[in-house]
Amino acid sequence: MKKHCVSLLALVMCMISCTQVPTPQTGTALFDHFVYSGNDSIYANHPLADEHTFYNPILPGWYSDPSVCTNGKGDYFLVTSTFSYYPGVPIFHSRDLMNWKQVGHVLDRPSQLRNLHFQHVSGGIFAPAIEYNPHNETYYMVTTNVGWGNFFVTTKDPFGPWSEPVRLPTVGGIDPSFFFDDDGRAYIVNNDDAPDGKAEYDGHRTIRIQEFDPATNQTIGERHILVNKGARPEDNPIWIEGPHMYKINGYYYLMSAEGGTGGWHSEVIFRGESPMGPFTPWEHNPILTQRHLDHRRPNPITCAGHADLVQTLEGDWWAVFLACRPINNHFENLGRETFIMPVQWSPDGFPYMTQGDDLVPLTVRREQAFRTDDGASTGNFVHTDEFADTLLAYEWHTLRGPGKEHYSLTEVPGALTLRCAPVALTDRGTPAFVGRRMQHHAFESSVDIYFAPADTLERAGLVLFKDETHQYLFLVGADAQGRYLTLQKVGRQGTETLAKQPLATTATKLTLRVESDGEHYAFSYRAKGKQWNSVGEQLDAAHLSTARAGGFTGSLIGLYATNK
């Protein structure tokens, strides 16, 4: 059987040389002209009112657990979780809180991302928190690596490289964040176990604090419990986490997420006169939630919580937070996205974003900000990648490591080369895979592929990826009869072949396409100058949803090559 495939490869390689198209080496696939185009009706039905108005979310697609800081000079920086994807923790910059541009990744070296290699997709880096210390003019990003522990990195220049990780062996639990007080003292607050490790119920957690010495990069003194259970302990609240501390008008505010990451998610606030407490919860908590609203409402935004506050140069306060947008009130594949809202203040001096039946808005307005559509990342934008650079664009991720042994942007200039690797997307290793976030329910994405399989094991193409057990694979392969396209569904029970279509064309170059209406996917292909050929339609998009698959990430569109 392999001899037939090798003969096929020789024929195709001959045709490539005759037409002067890129020539993939044996065992490699070339990808070119990747296009992603959003087509959500919500944007068409809700045009922006003026140049001061912006769409929510400000970072669409899976950008969860946002944290924001300012240096007090008009620069704002925002980071989000990446779990087991590489590089880790994208960092965005803005001068007005509304127009955001990614300027890199905080964790962009393997030495900063320890023990990711065999973690589940939803393992790895949880809830990064970024803060600026004006006393030493240093930026800190602290986070949890669930396979390694809590650690932080620092920099004087957030546009440049960050330091090697500094572990925090005395800080247990998850979701640490820094607080730098006016007097120069510093603290770390985080989520941890119930008192004495004796939980009264599932989800019983505490918020704890420990002093930190910026001069030695070490914690000092004892850890103290600030909050046990949550804002209303008598109700047995679950999963108080993601804490942040602020000093505002002489008071210390402790803000945390509560209720888990699903539909009961919320944000609560406490106030005290010392960073060590005691802290009193606001009587009108939660300060942000959508959990009690009618799920049949139009264009619902759900799961709102995990917030962070920032004050602008003009003195107003804003909150960034995560939330979800289920399609037609059913499910969502985009993951938890980053939203923004103005902060209001109660007569008794507590900040809040929603009360009662307040809705998270679809658009926000800030008079001091002017919308720039340069490189738009909200609304129905189109992104194209010709792979003409020597580095992957910031939007692309690999899994659990750099994966540079599997891909190259210089081997064939102007194309992404993926080497077929003996690692599958169902494995917990680093496959030959690069992916970018889905950012719309309705979208179209396509890529040109040059690939001539050398044997029956080699396959390459386009994938929709949620986690190790929830995927759609649209791959070129070969058998004794020649090349074919296969469409497969990966589930918890294994891999199901939905379609296998022989390729009548001898042209190596194919264009693979996936279309989504939010609830279904359709896959098709074409050779140069030919009509589109359907391989599968009406595929259940809910298969990639968090409701079906669980986990903490959204879904990605990826390019993939394997010989396993």
Identify whether 47 is part of a domain. Answer: no
Q: Are 245 and 308 in contact (CB under 8 A)?
A: no
Cα–Cα distance for residue pair 11/68, rounded to 1 Å: 56
Question: What pLDDT, on the 0 to 100 scale, is given for residue 377?
Answer: 82
| Residues 117, 266 within the same domain | yes
pLDDT tens-digit readout, 527-541: 987 899 999 999 999
Identify whether 535 is part of a domain. Answer: yes
Identify whether 45 is part of a domain. Answer: no
Confidence category of residue 26, pLDDT binned at 50, 70, 90: confident
Domain end residue (candidates: 304, 335, 365): 365
* Structure token pair of residue 190: 């985080």
Of 402, 397, 465, 470, the closest CA to residue 434 belongs to: 397
Which CATH number does the domain housing residue 337 bear? Answer: 2.115.10.20
Which one from 241, 267, 448, 468 is the annotated catalytic residue?
Answer: 241
pLDDT tens-digit readout, 421-479: 999 999 999 999 999 999 999 999 999 999 999 999 999 999 999 999 999 999 999 99
| Residues 79, 23 within the same domain | no
Rounded average pLDDT over 409-431:
96
Rounded average pLDDT over 5-21:
40
Percentage of the chain surpassing pLDDT 90? 91
Identify whether 459 is part of a domain. Answer: yes
Which one from 32, 65, 332, 468 is the annotated catalytic residue?
Answer: 65
Domain end residue (candidates: 332, 365, 398): 365
| Residues 30, 74 within the same domain | no
241 is catalytic: yes
Total domains in the chain come to 2
| Residues 279, 399 within the same domain | no
Helix %, strand %, coil % for the chain, to 5? 5, 45, 45
Percentage of the chain surpassing pLDDT 70? 96
| Residues 333, 422 within the same domain | no
The DSSP-derived string for 495-529 is EEEEEEEE-----SEEEEEEEEESSEEEEEEEETT
| Residues 140, 74 within the same domain | yes
Domain end residue (candidates: 303, 338, 365): 365
Identify whether 371 is part of a domain. Answer: no
| Residues 299, 430 within the same domain | no
Question: What pLDDT, on the 0 to 100 scale, is given for residue 504?
Answer: 82
pLDDT tens-digit readout, 229-263: 999 999 999 999 999 999 999 999 999 999 999 99
Which CATH number does the domain housing residue 389 bear? Answer: 2.60.120.200
Identify whether 375 is part of a domain. Answer: no
Range of the domain at 545: 2-38+380-562
Tell me how far the alpha carbon of residue 490 is from its chain's centroid.
Answer: 21
Confidence category of residue 21, pLDDT binned at 50, 70, 90: low
| Residues 358, 391 within the same domain | no
Cα–Cα distance for residue pair 364/213, rounded to 1 Å: 39
Of 115, 201, 205, the closest CA to residue 165 belongs to: 115
Q: What is the mean pLDDT of the chain?
A: 94
Residues 6 or more apart whose CB falls under 8 angstroms from that of 346 comprise 282, 284, 352
| Residues 123, 22 within the same domain | no
| Residues 27, 119 within the same domain | no
Of 560, 535, 424, 557, the closest CA to residue 485 belongs to: 535
Q: In this model, does residue 375 exceed pLDDT 70?
A: no
Helix, strand or coil, per DSSP, at residue 145: strand
Q: In this model, does residue 3 exceed pLDDT 50?
A: no
| Residues 149, 178 within the same domain | yes
Rounded average pLDDT over 209-223:
97
Identify whether 55 is part of a domain. Answer: no
pLDDT tens-digit readout, 105-145: 999 999 999 999 889 999 999 999 999 999 999 999 999 99
pLDDT tens-digit readout, 492-518: 999 999 999 999 877 789 999 999 999
Confidence category of residue 563, pLDDT binned at 50, 70, 90: very high
Question: What pLDDT, on the 0 to 100 scale, is given for residue 57?
Answer: 97
pLDDT tens-digit readout, 296-313: 899 999 999 999 999 999
Residues 6 or more apart whose CB falls under 8 angstroms from that of 89 comprise 79, 80, 81, 82, 105, 106, 107, 125, 128, 141, 143
| Residues 423, 545 within the same domain | yes
65 is catalytic: yes
Identify whether 499 is part of a domain. Answer: yes
Q: In this model, does residue 2 exceed pLDDT 70?
A: no
